[in-house]
Amino acid sequence: MKKKATPKKASPAKKSPPAKKSSSPKKSATPKKSSPVGISAPPPAVPPTANSAGTAPVPPTRKCGTMIVHNRLIEQHPNFRQALVNIERGVARRMALGLAARAGAPTTIPVVVHVVFKLPAENISDAQVKSQIAALNKDYSATNTDKSKTPAPWKGLVSSANIQFVLATKDPKGKATTGIIRTQTTKTSFSDDDGVKLASKGGAPAWPTDKYLNIWVCTLGGGLLGYAQFPGGPVATDGVVILNVAFGTTGTAKPPFNLGRSATHEVGHWLNLRHIWGDTEHCEGSDFVADTPKAQLPNFGKPVFPHVTCNNGPNGDMFVNYMDYVDDDTMVMFTTGQVTRMTATLEGPRSKLGK
Ligand SMILES: [Zn+2]
């Protein structure tokens, strides 16, 4: 065994009370090593919050592994880079049409949720899975009531992606399914190395990624809430991975990540959205969306409007956007430009979904 479990005591700085007292508290575990490619960001200053449910600690702030994974895949799969160029051509064509979401009935995306667990508490309930699907449906139709928190200058940009997520009712062979697949593993924790997607590494293999949105729910190390793969990448690993205690709105989901927004954020990447600050530290990065202001860095926690960076005053960073790093109760919207990118994805590289 290369990994050694490290028991963590509850942090004095924890943000949330334990959900309930456990009669037999199990120790939580954190891998000593990060993934082979490492994590570029420094570890959080505040140690993760332990809880009594026998599940992973809740990271104090949002961290998403998507860009690290993306940069690794680009190196490993030379065709991915060209695929991205072609996808961006499709986005440009869609932008020229001047429409954001597709009109009419929503695009329905069948979802398979792979619950990969070692401890019973990691084997989250059907109700918790369904609470996540419900949260996705609100956020991707802009029917989330907390969109009222959007600062006035941006209220007109709040947009519905007109997407509906449904747990798959047919498996790849056409048999009836609940869309929830449970896989027991010997792994204490997974990293951003895609191991959770491979049976040979203790994970669960993807269902055909052109037909389903694959969501893996597991314990993740490295302080990650999740990671996703952009469209155009290798099919075997396509989908999103979410930390189990940041998944859904009930069960083991813990504040400040218990409104299902980690999945909203990662599915945004899966539909080709970039981080709102453009993944640089010098105001030069872009999220390839015109109606989101430039921002210097991610915002964490619960910022107060306005937070001005990159000469983006008076309104500042659009930290209420799902593609920033704020807490679940602070991110409430996609913009029209972001919806256009997602629509282009559904009409381009992900056009077989739901068909
Ligand atoms: Zn992200």
Dump the DSSP string for 228-246: E--TTS-GGG-SEEEEGGG
For residue 39, report the distance from its CA to the centre of ligand 1, in Å. 14
Choice between 102 and 180, residue whose per-residue pLDDT is larger? 180
Give the closest residue to 241 by CA, choosing from 264, 266, 206, 213. 266
pLDDT band at 54 (very low <50, low <70, confident <90, very high): low
Query: What does pLDDT average to over the chain?
Result: 87
Question: How confident is the model at residue 231, as a pLDDT?
Answer: 97
Convert the pLDDT of each residue in 279-316 to its tens digit: 999 999 999 999 999 999 999 999 999 999 999 999 99
Per-residue pLDDT tens for 122-172?
999 999 999 999 999 999 999 999 999 999 999 999 999 999 999 999 999
Find which of 12-26, 91-105, 301-315 is predicted with most confidence, using mean pLDDT: 301-315
pLDDT given for residue 256 in this prediction: 98
Q: How far is the CA of 269 from the centre of ligand 1 (A)?
A: 7
Give CA angle at 225 (291, 139), nearest 5°: 45
pLDDT for residue 354 = 72
What are the residues facing 218 on neighbouring strands? 243
pTM of the model: 0.86
Distance from residue 208's CA to the centre of ligand 1 (Å):
23
Determine the distance separating the centroid of ligand 1 and the alpha carbon of 12, expressed in angstroms.
28
8 C-alpha to center of ligand 1: Å?
26
Residue whose token pair is 């629509």:
343
| Average pLDDT of the residues in 258-279 | 98
Q: How far is the CA of 272 from the centre of ligand 1 (A)?
A: 11
Q: What is the pLDDT of residue 53?
A: 53
The per-residue b/e assignment along 213-248, b for 16 or more CB within 10 angstroms, e otherwise, is: bbbbbbbbbbbbbbbbbbbbbeeebbbbbbbbbbbb
- b/e per residue 186-211 (b: at least 16 CB within 10 A): ebbbbbbbbbbbeeeebbbebbebeb
Active site residues: 266
Instruction: Report how far ligand 1's centroid is from the alpha carbon of 224 (Å).
Output: 10
- Residues found in the chain: 355
